[in-house]
Structure 1
Amino acid sequence: MRCALLSPMSPLEVARPGVTVNRFVFRNVEMDMPVEKVAVRLANSFHVHVERHIFHADRDSVILINGALATTASFGQTIKYMSAHHNVLCFDLPYAGQSRQHNKRSFLLSKDDEVDILLELIHRYKPGYLCSVSWGGLAALLALSRGASSIRRAAICSFSPYLNDAMVRYITTARDLLSRGENKAAAHLLNDTVGRNLPRIVKLLNYRYLTSLPKEEQDQVAFHVDQILALQPDVYLPQMSNIRCQVKFINGMLDEHTTARDIRQISTYVKGAQFAAIPDAGHFLDLEGRSQAAAVRDEILGFYGEPVQTAAPVLVAAAAQEQTFAPLELNTSYGA
């Protein structure tokens, strides 16, 4: 995907936007939907690649927040079903995807950095809704507790602050394999644990992605894992009582790493929290099949106050780039 070139800018200025067009078929009518792509320089001097999918100028926006290592390319399927009701905002963290080319200096991104980036983007673009996946949920909840005032409803998917034995084994083994340069073994680990319920084609894409991971991102993975292991939920969870928007946690019934049972403990801190458990779904939820995708879509859109569908939506992307852990090279449509 094309991105605008950067020139010297003061903090909070943005590069001249590049606008591309995605073609969708909606109710059997072809429609061209503009996607504004900009490189935003933040107050902390990081640059982030931001995409604004503008389906209707008068609609409110949803900001999408990735899990570890995923990029804007991972949200193709989500953007499709959001497009009937909302504009969509997504971004790459400075070390990943299309942001990486704009951050040449060596750095490791802390969790506080992630929260600051998210807060700055929310304050700039003022989305009314939020949707996070996996470890993106931690930055999302911390940002909501620190004043992301435009957000009215937040869907937090496949997240738990409580590290069970399965999660600790997974993240520590992944860190150790990548630190030794054993990327193939790390890819197999992903597909055999948190990704075990994924279709074969998505597992293949994950394998290709992780086996070609640059050294800088491997270092970020190790740093990310060490931060996660050092976190003390009893220290940061009380901050969640400051959250003023409505929050819904969505987890897969088959997810052994961020379980539907564990996340319910967070109701002590997030007042009025809602919960949903998706049948026959693991950690990757809507990537795991048609029925899982439909159930996740209905939970999120229903929570946002939109009418839900029991059949596959009529919105279909031509040459679609479906959602996956990694940037997609193949079409893996599940009819969502």
Structure 2
Amino acid sequence: MKPQTAIVDIHGKYKVYTERYRSHAAEKTIILVNGAFSTTACFAQTVRYLQPRFNVVLYDQPYAGQSKPHNRHSQPISKEDESEILLELIERVAADHVLSFSWGGAATLLALAQRPPRIEKAVISSFAARINQPMRDYLERGLNCLQACDRIKVGRLINTTIGKHLPSLFKRYNLRHVSSLAEHEYRQMHFHINEVLTQDTPCYTDCAAAIDIPLLFINGEWDEYTSTGDARLFAGHARQCQFRTIQNAGHFLDLEHKVAWDDTQQALLGFLQPASSLARPNGARPLDSRHRHAASDRVVTVRRAAT
């Protein structure tokens, strides 16, 4: 399952690395938006269950992953910049749906508030309508580590906070990944966190109020940083929204164990393709942790015991 790759020029300002996974049976295309510190690799297992039903597009932000060599890193990129990149890519790849993870939700909501005409539905995972105290504590500690460019401390901070429910293999991967980042990536994350900490909650809720397509918010039961309660604050603002809680899962949802992988898959596909069978297609099987690599007010909770 090798993707088609391309470097896409965004208004002559940025060059963005993209991966496109095509499915001969698919009629719709979904574009996935990374969280902070992440690259296309973080969606490796998500692609496994989306690609049989959708054409799937991934991309790296200009400062990260395989986009890095193609861009100058003279100044940080704002969430407004990231939303413009997303809007341009939506048009370029003719996307019908969007799926964001964690802080990718900020740029995604901002982009969707512009009402891109192609987008029919969007999924916002591990994101909330406000910065609660656990998240604020995590971000403020992160600022100090990033300012000092202390790679080991940043990796350990992630693993003991938002990543604390990940298998040990993934924690080792996180530490190795974060410790290998370039200095401009640390400057970017420092800028991003400052931006987040000084942004009022209405920024996100106002965006949600301007969105006129169905939204699905997915959060983990154990995620105290982007909690289910804080996500459900969007119900009072978004015109059409649903919520799913993945039981026995934290911030990283389907990366944490096989049952969470399956429950997240069922939540996504049940929202995006409600009339279709949710039987798992050939090849879309969850891998164990040794082989894996981050409005209505109706609340539907996915319940299943973790293994």
In structure 1, the residue matched to 2:91 is 123
Which secondary structure state, in structure 2, belongs to the residue aligned with residue 59 of structure 1? coil
| Consecutive unaligned residues in structure 2, runs of 5 or more | 295-307
Rounded Cα–Cα distance in structure 2 between residues aligned with 1:193 and 1:317:
25
The residue identity in structure 2 corresponding to 1:220 is Q
Q: How does 1:161-310 map to 2 (within 5 A)?
A: 161-305=129-273, 306-309=276-279
TM-score, normalization by structure 1: 0.82
1:101 aligns with 2:66: no
The residue identity in structure 2 corresponding to 1:40 is V
The residue identity in structure 2 corresponding to 1:308 is L
For residues 139 and 260 of structure 1, do their structure 2 counterparts lie closer, same or farther at Cα, with a shift above 3 Å needed?
same
1:315 aligns with 2:284: yes
The residue identity in structure 2 corresponding to 1:277 is T
Rounded Cα–Cα distance in structure 2 between residues aligned with 1:38 and 1:317:
28
| Consecutive unaligned residues in structure 1, runs of 5 or more | 1-21, 23-33, 326-336
1:140 aligns with 2:140: no
When the two chains are superposed, the root-mean-square deviation of aligned CA atoms in Å is 2.0
CA displacement at 1:183 relative to structure 2:
1.4
Which secondary structure state, in structure 1, belongs to the residue aligned with residue 32 of structure 2? strand
**Contact 2:219–2:226 under 8 Å retained in 1:** yes
Rounded Cα–Cα distance in structure 2 between residues aligned with 1:192 and 1:56:
42
CA displacement at 1:317 relative to structure 2:
9.9
In structure 1, the residue matched to 2:301 is none
Rounded Cα–Cα distance in structure 2 between residues aligned with 1:240 and 1:188:
33
Seq. identity, %: 35
Which secondary structure state, in structure 1, belongs to the residue aligned with residue 5 of structure 2? strand
CA displacement at 1:322 relative to structure 2:
7.0
**Length, aligned pairs only:** 290
TM-score, normalization by structure 2: 0.89
**Contact 2:109–2:207 under 8 Å retained in 1:** no
1:287-321 Cα deviation digits (max 9, x unpaired): 00000000000000110114223x79643599xx9
Rounded Cα–Cα distance in structure 2 between residues aligned with 1:176 and 1:323:
31
The residue identity in structure 2 corresponding to 1:225 is I
Rounded Cα–Cα distance in structure 2 between residues aligned with 1:259 and 1:317:
25
Q: Which has the larger radius of gyration?
A: 1
1:50-108 Cα deviation digits (max 9, x unpaired): 11111227521110000011011111101110122111011000000000000034221
